[in-house]
Amino acid sequence: MGDYSNLIVIVLIVALRFLMDRLIVRGEDRRRLTDLDKPRIYSLIINAVTIASIIALIIFVGDTPLFVGLALGLFALFGLSQSWLEKKYLPNTKRHIATLLSIGCAIIVLGSYMLFYPMT
């Protein structure tokens, strides 16, 4: 048996996101950003910039402790930009609150994981 702590962290983050969506986004208006044309393009641009930034971090920063801080910062910026788009284009769904809470919980989980299992 191997160390399954990475898998447990990923499952916990996905479960938190699913739970936040189910508990907070209620009612008949359950739209997403991908259901609208203009926000879908903005969301795709934000996703592409985030992925390119993470690839640049992996290439240029490597396995230093600075990587963890910068990656968590990028993750927070990604969550803030997604929730801003949801607030702007889907104000009645409360989806932006679910996004902020799930990103905040994910940052806490990832940060504490990196604190207890630092990169070597």
Q: How many domains does the chain have?
A: 1
- Evaluate the CA torsion angle 32, 41, 87, 113 in order and state its sign: positive
Q: In this predicted model, what pLDDT tens digit does every residue of 49-103 receive, in sequence order?
A: 988 988 888 888 777 777 778 888 888 898 899 888 888 888 778 888 888 998 9
d(CA 73, CA 52): 14
Q: In this predicted model, what pLDDT tens digit does every residue of 28-52 receive, in sequence order?
A: 767 777 777 788 788 888 889 988 9
Task: Write out the two tokens for 30.
Answer: 């359950």
Quote the domain boundaries for residue 12.
5-116
Residue 103, phi then psi, degrees to nearest 5: -65, -40
Better-scored residue on pLDDT, 58 or 120: 58
Q: What is the pLDDT at residue 120?
A: 60
